[in-house]
Structure 1
């Protein structure tokens, strides 16, 4: 089957500059509604990847996201949200973007075309067989990502990919290929739109399900979140209050003493075994 770049096909809409603001917004929303359905079709592959990541992370493994442009930025974004949300160290989920941190705000010329750079960066992080490398590329053709996945696989490291084109080169380098086919973009080729939205959804699904499996959520609560601002301290206080049936001020003192909801609740039960 020939490789077709659906991400580069013409938009289903034309003469965009002649449309009203309302028409533009409605059309974009119509297209966005296709994204969740495309992600739904990919759930079997997402499950397959998560099921292989969890035992590796239980042995000390890490997740590395690799991407360029929007795809790279979304990987860095998801990785950066794991410590505050789940109280994990920032070394467990790592986002690498072609061109380095400069590329988060500014395009770095030709960075994504270097087939060897991705693997060199992974080696700088002492990558090993407990780790997982997930390549993100809407087109599925980014050399920086393809090269990293190819080398990782050669070294016996679990690889996954997220792309918006079927049977792309990136899929061929992945043990588990997640293909989310969202169709042509509203602005032709602008994969920051539907493809980017779908990538964000899938990254949320991967790390949230992994963290739940690793015991970082209790009931439906982020019991290990970092208490980095007043909103989160308030949220944590209410969790402790509800869990232990104590008043707000007492719960807040306990929370701040121990630093997380889980530690506060565990310490309370240890001191009050009959509670």
Structure 2
């Protein structure tokens, strides 16, 4: 690790709040909320870093590329959550956005000791997916110093793969490894060093921004509607019916038939408008 990375560990800095164990529940909740309010403003400063990355991801995905997230602990879990939500929300294949966590799937629920300390393992994990130059790799690490993530980005960059990072310390080793570093400096945590809090929130919000922007650019949203969402439960089926009703100005019964016949909001709307809605 370079000297700058050692001296800019904002995520490890002492909390703005002390004597937490002597606070009332109300004081604890207000203190956490006070800190959480600062996160969107920190992200606002990073929008230019996110903005330049999106077109590069979209360009590759239009050519058949995939989006990978790698991380350890909370960061890895957040990447997996974002990846797992893309298929039901946007109707994309399950292997179009992929989240990988240090220690394997078992680490999603239970921490795997020292899994994040191996700088070679991430590339081995990625190799199982035959990652290629069409793909994009985003490394997630609040500290910006996780060997698993840094090692994966370095190897990917050597292989000609587009690399980006999300971290919460300025000038970290992870940022140096990435072609498109995103740094959201949220400051000290309410509980000193507990980066599952503000840093985790920041990472989640940035991941939301990236995947949502990419999917919109790929045409997976029409107007403001998830027209390709999977009808995997009654709530989503009802949402789909309502979307069709509102878009076409038809009855619920007609919308139900269209959705049943065509299997998606997009298919139902397009078929109806092309004069084939009753087929």
TM-score (norm. length: structure 2) = 0.96
* Counterparts of 1:10 and 1:133, CA distance in 2: 32
Q: Which residue of 2 aligns with 1:258?
A: 262
Q: Which of 164, 171, 174 is the equivalent residue of 1:167?
A: 171
What residue number does 1:56 align with?
Answer: 60
Q: Hey, what does 2:221 align to over in structure 1?
A: 217
Q: Secondary structure at the match of 1:271?
A: coil
Instruction: Provide the rounded CA distance (Å) in 1 between the counterparts of 2:73 and 2:106.
Output: 11
**What residue ranges of structure 1 are gaps of 5+ in the alignment?**
none
Asked if the contact 2:4–2:172 (Cα under 8 Å) also holds between the matched residues in 1, the reply is no
Give CA deviations for 1:118-174 in whole Å, capped at 9, x if unaligned: 011111101111100000000000000000000000011100000000000000000
130, 134, 137: which one pairs with 2:134? 130
**Aligned-partner Cα distance in 2 for 1:242–1:217:** 16
1:109 corresponding residue in structure 2: 113
| Within-5 A mapping of 1:82-93 | 82-93=86-97
Q: CA deviation at 1:272?
A: 5.1
Report whether the alignment pairs 1:196 with 2:172: no
User: What corresponds to 1:179 in structure 2?
Assistant: 183
Gaps of 5+ in 2: none
Q: Which residue of 1 aligns with 2:27?
A: 23
Aligned to 1:81: 85
Q: Distance in 2 between matches of 1:10 and 1:245?
A: 57
Report the secondary structure of 1:42's partner residue. helix
Deviation of 1:271 after TM superposition, in Å, equals 2.6
Q: Deviation string for 1:94-138 (max 9, x for gaps)?
A: 000000110000010111011111011111101111100000000
Size of the aligned set, in residue pairs, is 273
Match of 1:66 in 2: 70
Task: Give a deviation string over 1:162-218, Cα, whole Å, max 9, x none.
Answer: 000000000000000000000010000000000000000000000000000000000
Q: Which consecutive aligned stretches of 4+ in structure 1 deviate over 3 angstroms post-superposition? A: none
**SS at the partner of 1:64?**
strand
Cα distance in 2 for partners of 1:19, 1:177 equals 38
Q: State the distance in 1 between where 2:260 and 2:18 align.
A: 56
Q: Distance in 2 between matches of 1:221 and 1:268?
A: 17
Provide, for residues 218-268 of structure 1, a one-character-per-residue CA deviation record: whole Å limited to 9, x for no partner.
000000001111111111001111111210011011112111100111111
State the SS of the aligned residue for 2:166: strand
